[in-house]
Amino acid sequence: MAAFGLMELILMVMLGGGSMGNDLIDYLPSNLYWQTQGVELKSDVLLHELDDKPGVPVDARRYIENLGSASAEVRDQASEALRKLGGVVVPDLEKASQSSNPEVAQRAQLLLKALHDNARAPALRRLMAIRALGELKDPSAAAVLTKLAKSKRPFEAEYAQAALAAIAGKPVTRKGITPAERAGDLWLLPKDSGLVAQMAIEPGGPVDLRAMVQPMTAMMGGEPQALDAAVEGVTRQVLQIAQRTGNLRLTSVTLGLNENPKAGAVIILRGLYDAKALGPAIQSANPQAAITQVGGVEVVEVSQNRAYLVLADSHRAVLIAGDPQLPMPVEAMVNACQAGKGTLNENKDLVALLKTVDTTLPIWGVAKMNDSYRQLPNSQPFDSVTLAGIKAGDMGSFTVTATGKDPVAVAASVQAVNQEIEKVKAELAQPRMGALPFTQAIKSILDSVRCASAGGTATLRWEMKGSPLGIVLGVLLPG
């Protein structure tokens, strides 16, 4: 079976059912994480992980000495032990990197690079220990967790409170985005936006990665052992990211597409992340990425002249992408984030259209149609389009409403859409399509589609099981 990784995970989130995580480490199983660290999953061991460790452990210096051992096995064991000790051994490794012994110097240099690339590994390790203590439900951990519930470190207090609730057998709900935060992000958008949309990400929690991966591997025709390999593959990739960035949380996504689609889009990502770590992490994964300062704010040029990521603060990042031949609103978005408002309120047509939708819905969108947007198939008759999406349990229900002045043209457009849907359904019914992943899920969505017209208004309704989060991930993490 082909390698299983983040793109397959995106598809599962997009079309899967059940509760999904909105933290990166929700997709990092505790047992597999601690297995990679060589740590036994027991309360006393995990509590030791949460001890403050001033200074360098005595064993660390012995490990550094062993980097020059005559035994290759001893050298390898010492390297692995030092890697697991993390940032606390950096000063001693820096000294060792200047050693006259070439073997010691080279190994120390490699370890320093690995520790620099995985700078947030110690913070990740603490969060994973806190979470695992809650999963073990050992009352002896309560005293330490109670202290950590007042921690100022990112995520620690919340994770400790959740662990305490788990030990006490109480339900816990992760904090989501507030209406005021959603509105604040919306009005940061630039005035030349022609399409605006927003999605609130439902607060989640740790997922059963094995249960989540199983349908995908089954549909890909994998043998039973392929499930283990798939889970390990996703775990490995999530771990690699988390050790560089720390935990990442996504609570909402706000989109503004320029009136000229070639000019690109602004995507505001809200949640919680380590703003100091994300830029270097991107650069480590993509050496061509450049980090600059704009108005005192760190901006990462993710793709040369094509995409920029504004790391506004620890709760908000702004992705700006478009045609490299056209100007991009990088400085304007930095200024908007600093001022707490953009220029969207100057777009009177879009402001009026926004008043026709409920912007507190989990997912919504509006578009003021223009000649560029009307280049899309079957969109010529329409002047405006709105989207409204709600969720009830695992099911999402979505309605697109488009209005135009010519009822005959609107009806013709609806007829063309229905014909296209029937063509796709017929294609999916072919025997060769039956073996492809998610064919049945896509057919289920298409079977729910209802497209109709009444006068100058067209409506398109459909339902889907699972989380729309995968759609967002698919946009942000192209494969």
Domain with 162 in it? 24-167
Counting runs of H as helices and runs of E as strands, what totals does the chain give? Answer: 19, 12
Q: Do 118 and 222 belong to one domain?
A: no
Q: Is 2 a domain residue? A: no
Chosen domain end from 118, 138, 167: 167
* pLDDT confidence of residue 285: 81
- Joined tokens for residue 186: 């919306």
Helix (H) or strand (E) holding 462: strand 457-465
* pLDDT confidence of residue 240: 87
* pLDDT confidence of residue 477: 40
If you ran DSSP here, which 8-state letter would residue 100 be given? S
* pLDDT confidence of residue 128: 96
Split into its structural domains, the chain has a count of: 2
Q: Do 230 and 258 belong to one domain?
A: yes
Q: Do 210 and 63 belong to one domain?
A: no
Q: Is 14 a domain residue? A: no
Q: Do 119 and 264 belong to one domain?
A: no
**C-beta neighbour count of 449 within 10 angstroms:** 16
Q: Do 159 and 74 belong to one domain?
A: yes
- Joined tokens for residue 298: 């760190």
* pLDDT confidence of residue 113: 78
Q: Do 98 and 211 belong to one domain?
A: no
* pLDDT confidence of residue 170: 94
Contact yes or no for 159/127 (Cβ under 8 A): yes
Question: Helices in 220-308 by DSSP H: which ranges?
Answer: 224-245, 275-285
Q: Do 467 and 333 belong to one domain?
A: yes
If you ran DSSP here, which 8-state letter would residue 23 be given? B
Q: Is 174 a domain residue? A: no
Q: Is 54 a domain residue? A: yes
Q: How far apart, in whole angstroms, are the C-alpha atoms of residue 175 and residue 186?
A: 20
Work out whether the CA dihedral 222, 224, 226, 228 comes out positive or negative: positive
Q: Do 222 and 338 belong to one domain?
A: yes
Q: Taking the model in full, what pTM does it have?
A: 0.84
Q: Is 8 a domain residue? A: no
Q: Is 94 a domain residue? A: yes
Q: Is 44 a domain residue? A: yes
Contact yes or no for 396/462 (Cβ under 8 A): no
Q: Do 156 and 248 belong to one domain?
A: no
Chosen domain end from 167, 202, 231: 167
Chosen domain end from 107, 141, 167: 167
* pLDDT confidence of residue 468: 57
Q: How far apart, in whole angstroms, are the C-alpha atoms of residue 118 and residue 124?
A: 10
Q: How far apart, in whole angstroms, are the C-alpha atoms of residue 219 and residue 225?
A: 14
- For each successive 10 residues of the chain (479 residues), what is the average pLDDT? 46 48 91 89 92 59 88 90 74 86 90 75 92 96 96 95 96 89 97 95 86 68 72 87 90 94 94 90 86 94 87 95 91 96 96 95 94 93 94 84 96 96 90 69 87 96 72 41
Q: Is 113 a domain residue? A: yes
Q: How far apart, in whole angstroms, are the C-alpha atoms of residue 350 and residue 196?
A: 9
Q: Do 465 and 369 belong to one domain?
A: yes
Q: Do 370 and 279 belong to one domain?
A: yes
Locus of tokens 């032990």: 81
Q: Do 242 and 317 belong to one domain?
A: yes
* pLDDT confidence of residue 218: 63
